[in-house]
Structure 1
């Protein structure tokens, strides 16, 4: 018999995986307050839970507080500060609630007790999911968070791409301002029929025009500055054939 004035612990404290496994083995409905050590359990709801336990739930209702820090199946709750109420039966999650809404929590407990009683009497089945799986509103929240994270990543990537394009544009403008008005492009024999396809748009966008085409037989015949266009050419014994002399359409 408990001493006079001694408090009766109606909420079991769970802090290890071994204690968690023992809790899941209990018969009946388990209502567990999942919390992290840094924020603590939702003590404001303790009085309501204990009242339901003593007046309605009896031996069929078990109350617990599980510290997720050392319990691997509950690791997804370690960074949460919002009160989390997990309803368990036969080691499975049957319902889940977030927040400190006392009337709603009471309604859920009473509804789950009715389902548990019907299951114990063989009148209905008891469906649930593994503790490591997301359940109900938790899935909706996770999908919403994933969508927000994806949108943020896309914004960051778009920002980086814009910054990279602006940087390249600025570098290209600096190069155009510093380079001579006349330049050369060396076309190797195998690329003779491809340079228009490769360089056409670039030449037009840069405001350049092909002024002359000149065949050369050695490297020293080309006047610098020049650009070497080598489309997969590896035969060093065959010298470049054509030089394009490029000139700006308008010189600032």
Structure 2
């Protein structure tokens, strides 16, 4: 009987400043669902993230959920009631999407991933982009 393939978690769970700093060292684009304990991470985007991962299959694309109450670097997002998605590359914030807007979220992921691929292949620097 064949062994069942172990499913790899789609999103990393970041619950401390130490884990946050480790995550920022990852190569590629990191999409972070920044949430507060009282409302939890946005569950409706998991299917979107899975769909994008399946379509692009990139080793340069990572997803994470991060509790803002336990991470000093995310203090400015505490007390907000709307979902916030933060995009990091090489430890730098490169984009932000506020609110749950699936088309905008998908567009931003694909655009930022294209930038990351270009920088990886041809060099260049990341630039912080617009906050949506």
TM-score normalised to structure 2 length: 0.90
Q: SS of the residue aligned with 1:59?
A: coil
Unpaired stretches in structure 1, ≥5 consecutive residues: 129-134, 139-252
1:71 and 1:91 map into 2 onto residues whose CA distance is 15
Shift of 1:8: 3.0
Please say if residues 92 and 126 of structure 2, whose CA atoms lie closer than 8 Å, have aligned partners that are also in contact.
Answer: no
Distance 1:57 1:113 in 2: 11
Deviates most, 32-41 or 54-63: 54-63
Alignment partner, residue 19 of structure 2: 19
How far the C-alpha of 1:50 sits from its partner, in A, is: 1.4
Counterpart in 2 of 1:104? 104
Q: CA deviation at 1:105?
A: 0.7
Show structure 1 runs of 4+ deviating over 6 A: none
Confirm or deny: 8 A CA contact 1:57 1:113 kept in the other structure. Answer: no
Is it true that 1:126 corresponds to 2:126 in the alignment?
yes
CA shift digits 1:5-26 (9 cap, x unpaired): 8543110000000000000000
Structure 2 residue 67 is the aligned partner of structure 1 residue 73: no
Instruction: For residue 123 of structure 1, report the CA deviation from its aligned partner.
Output: 4.6
State how far apart, in whole Å, the 2-side matches of 1:25 and 1:7 are. Answer: 24
Query: Which SS does the other structure have where 2:122 is aligned?
Result: coil
**Alpha-carbon distance, 1:57 to partner:** 4.2
Larger RCO (alpha carbons 8 Å, 6+ apart): 2
The residue that corresponds to 1:137 in the other structure is: 131
CA RMSD, 1 decimal: 1.8
Aligned to 1:159: none
Deviations 1:221-251 (A, max 9, x none): xxxxxxxxxxxxxxxxxxxxxxxxxxxxxxx
Alignment of 1:53-92 (within 5 A): 53-92=53-92
Task: Tell me how far apart the structure 1 counterparts of residues 106 and 27 of structure 2 sit (CA, whole Å).
Answer: 20
Count of residues in Structure 1 that have an aligned counterpart in Structure 2? 130
Instruction: Give CA deviations for 1:95-127 in whole Å, capped at 9, x if unaligned.
Output: 000111111111111100110011001254212
- How far does residue 55 in structure 1 lie from its aligned partner after superposition? 2.0
Structure of larger gyration radius: 1
